[in-house]
Structure 1
């Protein structure tokens, strides 16, 4: 699943019923992520924190979809533990968890490490995460080992970056956070800047004399 790849229109059972991915996605963005196994400590913290931050994903028009190779009943039972551990989760668990018992989807979506990929006896997925655009294409990929839990703030930051870049021909610099300046793409011609960035662009003078560092808050 390389950047720009179209995510196939898979069908899968989940804690919220059958999902036909393209129909379910609609015109939204999606964060599709795998966890190694139910009833494991780090996964409990991850799915819990993501559930608590669901409103932040909703503000960005991002749907949430989890996956592991456990049985559907296991997912349903485990959700109660997650809600008990993360007391900030109110009401029903706020996003579906896919059951991929035969590992077929995990293989298709490249969510297994090299050693486990071809071993049906090892069902554990790594912590793979894809941000998928409304065009069904992979916009961002993150892969963590099973030993490292993900950072929800960083996930939200990169979604903000992707959505800014989807609106205007810009890129976000190192350590960027929303509200900070962005970089105008080198492909943007100087004569097009007033139309694209009416609030202005600053050009940073470099020793090379090449005007390639252009920043703006107009996004």
Structure 2
């Protein structure tokens, strides 16, 4: 049996877990799935990880993030076990010094970690890349992105109003995950562009501000429509 090192808390029912975790500042304000030992072990097994495996370390504060801690937060977020390899890979990427995670999670501008997933895993676990890609109703998108936010809160210590000083914030700071739609995209997939094969799966992360929805209801000219996008980008 996989040995876990996290502190064990006992409750009479799940509602007590939700309220206790909220009171301790361990949530994003939404209810969580209680991270039982069995569920955490199931997630670790899905990614062939040991609890003590180091996924990464927050470069500025030096906080080490183990596979067990990532699994706990993925369970809390409502992920399925098969999502966990994607979550762990995203955490590994955001801990790279070049990403500058501390600046992103402490800024007043409110940047968030945007994940773009590519490769076979997209269809295997059902990450949405089409209609309402950032909207509700897509469990993989919603919970994978949420798991990253919970890791940021609980494993790096960047909670809202303390380290995280975003002036307004935006919904992407709850969850922000999408897939590439390689069936319609005319461009080479991001992970292939970066040297991986099409048969490999990968996560690309960005520090992104709130989205802008651009609309042009009058023009039929491609140039004029592109000009609207240009104006939106420079607004």
TM-score range, shorter chain: under 0.3
Structure in which a larger fraction of residues adopt helix: 2
Between Structure 1 and Structure 2, the one with more strand by share is 1
TM-score normalised by length of structure 1: 0.28
Larger radius of gyration: 1
